Structure 1
Amino acid sequence: MRSWSRIQDVAAVVLGVYAALSPIWLDTNNAARWSLIVLGVLVALAGVAHMYRPELSYAEYGMAVLGVLMFIAPWAMNFHAMSGAAWTAWVVGVLTVVVAVTGLPVTNSLAHRQGGMAAHH
């Protein structure tokens, strides 16, 4: 069963693409630019992977981890003073975690029904 229309998957791809492209219009340094690009691409890929294989619960967990990494990136990579890049990372990070968490019940249900690996029984 493919889930091309699930709003969580589409939202993840949009959030990832937005973050990855944001250095085009934001004032960034090297750390901010590459943090947003790499984490954005990974979030978008997790969304695409989940569209293709909706029963893979680890894609949702991975997306949640990427959201947390996106949120802490401004402090970890020292670009918290760059308000545009920092706020983009914070907002996209929180929204990515929300998208991943809201998708978990559906993912676990699909995995359980199809005999796949469900994270929790």
Structure 2
Amino acid sequence: MQLQDLLPLIAGVYAFLSPIWTTTTDRATMTMVALGIITALAAIAELVRPDVIPLEGLMALLGVAFFVSPWVMGFTGTSPMAWTAWIIGAVTFIVGAADIQLTRMHHRDTMATSH
């Protein structure tokens, strides 16, 4: 288990719980709770069975969903929750994109040694 495996889990749990201490609206709360739960569950699945369930692309996609959610769901005016979504989105996207690159490099190395 490495830090990049734990970051999406921490980000998902933080997003899920953030309406407790962050100024929010109903739409922002529903969005952050839903995306937080999905992110945390995907991270847990990746931690438990990384060889069976490759979810790197899903993490990057969830990062994008978090990042655009203030505009799509209309809570950019709720600055604390919008910033929470943008930061969690950036972190989740970066971790997911980095994980995709690591997986590609690993597959490339595996293919090179098998030939």
Q: Are positions 1:74 and 2:48 aligned together?
A: no
**Matched residue, 1:18:** 14
TM-score in terms of structure 2 length: 0.85
| Counterpart residue type for residue 101 of structure 1 | A
| Richer in helix (by share) | 2
Trace 1:31-70 onto structure 2 (pairs within 5 A). Answer: 31-56=27-52, 58-70=54-66
Matched position secondary structure for 2:18: helix
Q: Are positions 1:85 and 2:81 aligned together?
A: yes
Conserved? CA contact 2:69–2:85, under 8 Å: yes
Q: List gaps (5 residues or longer) in structure 1.
A: 115-121
Cα 1:57–1:111 shift into 2, 3 Å: farther
2:102 maps to which of 93, 100, 106: 106
TM-score in terms of structure 1 length: 0.81
Q: List gaps (5 residues or longer) in structure 2.
A: 111-115
Aligned positions, number: 111
Matched position secondary structure for 1:81: coil
Matched position secondary structure for 1:54: coil
| Counterpart residue type for residue 102 of structure 1 | A
Within 2, Cα distance between the matches of 1:82 and 1:39?
A: 17
Within 2, Cα distance between the matches of 1:110 and 1:55?
A: 12
Cα 1:42–1:110 shift into 2, 3 Å: farther
CA RMSD of superposed structures (Å): 2.2
| Counterpart residue type for residue 79 of structure 1 | F
Within 2, Cα distance between the matches of 1:85 and 1:23?
A: 8
Within 2, Cα distance between the matches of 1:50 and 1:110?
A: 16
Quote how far apart the aligned CAs of 1:103 are. 1.3
- Quote the sequence identity (%): 38
